[in-house]
Chain A
Amino acid sequence: MRASTPPVAAWRERLPTLIRVYGIILTLVLLVAVVGIGNPAFLSGQNIFNMLSQWAPAGIMAVGMTFVILTGGFDLSVASGYSLCAVVAAYVGQSYPPSIAFGAAIIVGLLFGLANGLLVAVVRINPFITTVGSGFIINGVALVMTKNAAFLVDNPDFGTLGAGRWHGIPYSGMLLIVFLLVFGFILARTVYGEAIYSVGGNYEASRLSGIRVRAVVASTYVVLGGCIGLAGSIVASQLSSAQANLDPGIIFDVLTIVVVGGTSLSGGTGAMWRTAVGLGIIATISNGFVLLDISPYYQSIIKGTIIVAALALDGGLTRLVRAK
């Protein structure tokens, strides 16, 4: 073993590593500063609460997606599951109290996640294909159920989950933060979280070490399913209605949130705080466009550029640290 390096040099040497690990926070801070200076209304409580409420469904699903991606998995059926759960919530909500409606949506989400999980972990079909396929099925089920018409709910209590507020703070935003904290804790501090990292880092080594690898992988899809169920409930509640093709593009938001944060698509490395930062970045960009009054024509160009730049910066710094 080599002698430890002197402290001054150590700090200098660790700088690139620190930037690599925490650089993404820098990106978020920069973005917030730019948008905040451009339009101070960005930092008002009102605006932040609105953002929380608006991003709650995608953010909650990103929490579950973080679990799946960390095991080296992937789920492309998110958008279909999300619509189906919203439809279930609205359908049940038409004739039953909201709690039963949302409960039913979450149960459907969990069952859907379980089916995905079993196919991926036990039958061992590639997660990409599995979830593309199951996504089609679920989308079809939702279409059959609704005949592509919107289900409207006129019970005012139904709107509380998505649109209700306590002292201006939206319940849905609180749920988002609770989910980030609770599942972040599970990931970082529990045996289950440790197993997720191990399985994602090296499936075979984990299996040979006696970890229940299949159960771990399958369970992450169930977690995501539960998140999808809640997200679907929130959006149905916000809109007081739901339909089969609610928001097919939300899958990209969910994946972008997780990946921009720096969680690796190959599994094993990443963290929940990264997903929180990724969510902050995506939400700030989207909200910034509105507040800075940027023409919609340029929005997707800028959004795409920032996302690619954030990842390139990450990769570039990693290479810089390794190369020398």
Chain B
Amino acid sequence: MVQSPIGNKRVSESTLAIRVRNVSKSFPGVQALRKVSFVLETGEVHGLVGANGAGKSTFIRMLSGASTPDSGDIEVQGLPISFEDPRAQRSNGIAAIYQELTIIPEMSALSNVFLGEVPNRWFVVDRRGMEKRFRELAEWMSVKISPHAIANTLAIANQQMLEIMRAVHAEHDVIIMDEPTAPLGPFERSRLYELIGRLKENNVSIIFISHDLDEVLRLCDRVSVMRDGQLLETRPSSSWTKDTLVQTMLGDVEIVPGRKRERGKVKKLLRVQDLTLPGKVSGINFELAEGDVLGIAGLVGAGRTEVLRCVAGLELPAEGRMSIAGEDCAWPQSVRQAIDRGIALAPEDRKREGLVLSRSALSNLLLADIGSGSVGPVMSSAARRTKATALAHQIGFNADRLDTDALHLSGGNQQKLVIGKWLHRRPRILLLDEPTRGIDLGAKQEIFQTIRSLSDEGMGVVLVSSDLEEVVEHADRILVMARGKQIAMLDGTEASVERILNLIFAVESRPALAGVN
């Protein structure tokens, strides 16, 4: 057993890590929080769930000191606190790990962990001390990261670990984790769960935010549900079920189950044979027929995204053969070539690859067909609005918000735009990379409704998602990948999350061949 680096923890008389009483906060036009009261006990893992826009982010921003409440008060370790800046908050012992990591990509792992409080002697950086402490922390957390690795060369999961190391190093009593598992695959998730357990043993209290309700119920001691800026209810996890959570979160939204269709012989849209991208992906074979939804399952880094990118003309040089509508053709050499063949990709990273955040929802919806609604080179704003409104209806986007900049939209609405921008071009094959990451249940349902209605109209859809349940629920067939290889092709009827995981872990748990740790 490795000794805890957390050392002698402050023992306070209070068993409450945080007590929040009647906190309210409003932004222009929005009551973001209404009289929220909340208690975090010492050494507790407390789940916080709610749809997007329920007020979770505002609430934790307040706890972490990033914004100030309009009214109400907050006590930490029994002491009332004043809010000035995140630095003051650090001494209050609360660390927040946001979805958008605060890692500095160009700096080393070491520098990132000690960011903001570099150990020094007379202002000279104490490198040896830093490295020693780093190894201590890494060992205790069972993390294998070289202190000298540059942060942006690390996987997302490891970057996140650096942030947690930072919090553990500073001996924070409370760590807030905002959707920490969203970018992680199953294996990395279980590593994080273990770590959370270990932090808990050391009396660190954790607020855990996630859209994955199974995970919340499994991991947390108590769960609070937020909706419309209110904290509706807190109960021990044992007295929640997934259904009661969903009901409380959404009020009265109906969940549409996926449905598999029985179909006769239909036209083949796409056939991929022996797709290989040297060093990343090899031996991928699949077919896509009209109206098909093909799921691709695998861990993060298994090569799922690369498969989509090859088909969309973004990865060169891809090897293997491709045929579209029965005709052999070379791999598309550019995005435009792929689009001409009716192939469209909705990429995983909405903000970096999907949207122009500084432009309106309307501009974004027409981005992929920028010349539409114009007479010659001159745009007609009326025609553009008509087209955008029609698209908005199709994807369940509120047409009143067409003039809002994409930056100010929720993740769910942003995702709708990323998919919606293609529909005007009527692609025959739509490639979706993680279309539901980090978005709430309501928006997820709407997105799957859109996918269903598109496939009913004959579009072929390839769906990559880390949420295996989602893949099993909605895909007609599932291509299972591990370490860049295709390991199975399951029929929708014979697939289950368990089966997929077994297949994946049978491969992933094998030792790697050459020196990869």
The answer to whether B377 and A210 touch across the interface, beta carbons within 8 angstroms, is: no
Total chain B interface residues with beta-carbon distance under 8 A:
32
CB distance from A3 to the nearest CB of B (A): 10
Within 8 A of B (CB), among A174-223: 189-192, 194-195, 197-198, 201-202, 204-212
Beyond A205-B353, A208-B347, A209-B421, is A190–B368 a contact (Cβ under 8 Å)? no
Chain A residue at minimum C-beta to C-beta distance from B346: A208
The answer to whether B356 and A268 touch across the interface, beta carbons within 8 angstroms, is: yes
* Size range of the chain A interface in the assembly: 20 to 34
A295 at interface (Cβ–Cβ under 8 A)?
A: no
With beta carbons under 8 angstroms apart, the residue of B27, B363, B421 that contacts A194 is B363
With beta carbons under 8 angstroms apart, the residue of B29, B336, B339, B359 that contacts A198 is B359
A157 at interface (Cβ–Cβ under 8 A)?
A: no
A167 at interface (Cβ–Cβ under 8 A)?
A: no
The answer to whether A13 and B368 touch across the interface, beta carbons within 8 angstroms, is: no
B284 at interface (Cβ–Cβ under 8 A)?
A: no
A123 at interface (Cβ–Cβ under 8 A)?
A: no
B355 at interface (Cβ–Cβ under 8 A)?
A: yes
Bound-complex Cα distance A10 to B29 (A) = 8
The answer to whether B28 and A201 touch across the interface, beta carbons within 8 angstroms, is: no
B510 at interface (Cβ–Cβ under 8 A)?
A: no
The answer to whether B370 and A13 touch across the interface, beta carbons within 8 angstroms, is: no
B378 at interface (Cβ–Cβ under 8 A)?
A: yes
CB distance from B418 to the nearest CB of A (A): 9
Beyond A13-B29, A210-B335, is A191–B371 a contact (Cβ under 8 Å)? yes
Bound-complex Cα distance A212 to B339 (A) = 12
Bound-complex Cα distance A109 to B49 (A) = 60
Beyond A202-B356, A205-B355, is A195–B363 a contact (Cβ under 8 Å)? no
CB contacts (< 8 Å) of A195 on chain B: these are: 370
The answer to whether B367 and A198 touch across the interface, beta carbons within 8 angstroms, is: yes
The answer to whether A202 and B28 touch across the interface, beta carbons within 8 angstroms, is: no
B190 at interface (Cβ–Cβ under 8 A)?
A: no
Beyond A2-B30, A198-B367, is A191–B356 a contact (Cβ under 8 Å)? no
CB contacts (< 8 Å) of A324 on chain B: these are: 27-28
CB contacts (< 8 Å) of A194 on chain B: these are: 363, 370, 379
A1 at interface (Cβ–Cβ under 8 A)?
A: yes
The answer to whether B363 and A208 touch across the interface, beta carbons within 8 angstroms, is: no
The answer to whether A189 and B28 touch across the interface, beta carbons within 8 angstroms, is: no
Within 8 A of A (CB), among B270-318: 312, 314
CB contacts (< 8 Å) of B353 on chain A: these are: 204-205, 208
B242 at interface (Cβ–Cβ under 8 A)?
A: no
The answer to whether B28 and A268 touch across the interface, beta carbons within 8 angstroms, is: no
Mark contacts of B355-392 with chain A using CB atoms, 8 A cut-off: 1 yes-contact digit, 0 otherwise: 11111000100011011001001110000000000000
The answer to whether A212 and B336 touch across the interface, beta carbons within 8 angstroms, is: yes
Within 8 A of B (CB), among A31-88: none
Mark contacts of A1-20 with chain B using CB atoms, 8 A cut-off: 1 yes-contact digit, 0 otherwise: 11011000110010000000
Within 8 A of B (CB), among A206-249: 206-212
CB contacts (< 8 Å) of B370 on chain A: these are: 191, 194-195, 198, 209, 211
Bound-complex Cα distance A205 to B28 (A) = 31
CB distance from A18 to the nearest CB of B (A): 13
A27 at interface (Cβ–Cβ under 8 A)?
A: no
CB contacts (< 8 Å) of A207 on chain B: these are: 335
The answer to whether B368 and A191 touch across the interface, beta carbons within 8 angstroms, is: no
CB distance from A121 to the nearest CB of B (A): 15
Bound-complex Cα distance A268 to B378 (A) = 20
CB distance from B31 to the nearest CB of A (A): 9
Bound-complex Cα distance A197 to B353 (A) = 15
The answer to whether A13 and B377 touch across the interface, beta carbons within 8 angstroms, is: no
CB distance from A277 to the nearest CB of B (A): 20
B468 at interface (Cβ–Cβ under 8 A)?
A: no
Bound-complex Cα distance A32 to B370 (A) = 40
The answer to whether A204 and B352 touch across the interface, beta carbons within 8 angstroms, is: yes
Bound-complex Cα distance A281 to B347 (A) = 43
CB distance from A202 to the nearest CB of B (A): 4
CB contacts (< 8 Å) of A206 on chain B: these are: 356, 367
Bound-complex Cα distance A309 to B359 (A) = 27
The answer to whether B379 and A210 touch across the interface, beta carbons within 8 angstroms, is: no
The answer to whether B355 and A202 touch across the interface, beta carbons within 8 angstroms, is: yes
The answer to whether A198 and B356 touch across the interface, beta carbons within 8 angstroms, is: yes
CB contacts (< 8 Å) of B345 on chain A: these are: 208
B398 at interface (Cβ–Cβ under 8 A)?
A: yes
Beyond A194-B363, A205-B367, is A210–B336 a contact (Cβ under 8 Å)? yes
CB distance from A238 to the nearest CB of B (A): 33
CB contacts (< 8 Å) of B357 on chain A: these are: 201-202
B400 at interface (Cβ–Cβ under 8 A)?
A: yes
B127 at interface (Cβ–Cβ under 8 A)?
A: no
With beta carbons under 8 angstroms apart, the residue of B367, B379, B400 that contacts A209 is B367
CB contacts (< 8 Å) of A197 on chain B: these are: 356, 358-359, 363
A160 at interface (Cβ–Cβ under 8 A)?
A: no
The answer to whether B379 and A205 touch across the interface, beta carbons within 8 angstroms, is: no
Bound-complex Cα distance A205 to B347 (A) = 9
B198 at interface (Cβ–Cβ under 8 A)?
A: no
The answer to whether A189 and B29 touch across the interface, beta carbons within 8 angstroms, is: no
Bound-complex Cα distance A195 to B371 (A) = 9
Q: List 12 A-B contacts (CB under 8 A).
A: A5-B29, A10-B29, A191-B379, A194-B370, A195-B370, A198-B363, A204-B352, A205-B352, A206-B367, A207-B335, A210-B336, A210-B368
Which residues from chain A sit less than 8 Å from chain B, CB to CB?
Answer: 1-2, 4-5, 9-10, 13, 189-192, 194-195, 197-198, 201-202, 204-212, 268-269, 324
**Shortest 4 CB-CB contacts between residues of A and residues of B:** A201-B356, A201-B358, A209-B368, A13-B28
Besides A190-B379, A202-B352, A212-B336, 6 more A-B contacts (Cβ < 8 Å) are: A191-B370, A191-B379, A201-B358, A202-B358, A206-B367, A268-B358
